[in-house]
Chains A and B, each alone.
Chain A
Amino acid sequence: MLKQLLENNIQVVESIDNWEEAIRYASKPLLKKKTIEDRYVRSMIDNIHELGAYVVLMPRIAMPHSRPENGVNITSMSLLKLNKGVSFSKDKDDINLIFILAAGDNTSHMDAIIGLTDLLEDGEKIEEIIGAANSETIYNLI
């Protein structure tokens, strides 16, 4: 399910100045497909201002998200890979992989989260994804 959700929603960029811009950029494929609304992007950013960078799951990887009622039309995900990491918090390592999670309700995203948890446990694969040259390579690695 993780792979299906990420199909055509993976982007690779050299660098982005700050984490807010990175979240906006990472959300582009979902905004284009209208699976989320602009206000969902703002809500993800506001959440981090309010509660800190808890969306940083582990070194180099973040999963920004908010709640279904804050502008999700359809459960969806996107991935932005930054060749040069961006800082989400001065206390944490820079982030190379940004997984945008948009949950349409409280349960329909759970299979994707289980899939993502398995993926994140595979350190070698994560290294390969971070080192990948383009989105097709990343899609095939997932």
Chain B
Amino acid sequence: MKILVMCGNGLGSSFMMEINVKKALKELGKVADVDHTDLASATSREADIYIATEDIMANFNKEGVKKVALKNIMDLTELKEKLSQHL
């Protein structure tokens, strides 16, 4: 399974989310490839699940893919709850 975390620039908040997604997966006992990128590049990259903040997800127009939109990127409870629905 491949998870792609996105933010506007692909280097700040998305990397922070990647750290937390890896923590969440570990706590959920799941394994996946996790990478981070910017919104513009994400459209052309294939992944099973796309994760971003709500603001960024509103600008992500790829259809027919699994999406997780977060309110608070530091909230592991929110992340685990939303992510586990797709695992």
Q: Does B bind A?
A: yes
Interface size of A by CB at 8 A reads: 28
Tell me the interface secondary structure of chain A in the complex: mixed
| Shortest CB distance B60–A (Å) | 10
Residue of A nearest to B73 (CB): A57
Q: Is the CB of A51 within 8 A of B74?
A: no
Q: Is the CB of A47 within 8 A of B58?
A: no
Q: Looking at the complex, which one of A59, A65, A106, A113 makes contact with B72 (CB distance below 8 Å)?
A: A59
Scoring B8, B19, B20 by chain A CB atoms within 10 A of each residue's CB, the highest score goes to B8
Q: B59 contacts the other chain (Cβ, under 8 Å)?
A: yes
Bound form: Cα–Cα A124–B72 in Å? 18
| B residues 57-80 touching A (CB-CB < 8 Å) | 58-59, 72-75
Q: A142 contacts the other chain (Cβ, under 8 Å)?
A: no
Q: Is the CB of B75 within 8 A of A54?
A: no
User: What residues of chain A have their CB less than 8 Å away from a CB belonging to chain B?
Assistant: 47, 50-59, 63, 65-68, 89, 101, 103, 106, 109-110, 113-114, 116-117, 120-121
| Shortest CB distance B39–A (Å) | 7
| Shortest CB distance B3–A (Å) | 17
Residues of chain B lying within 8 A (CB to CB) of residue A114: 19
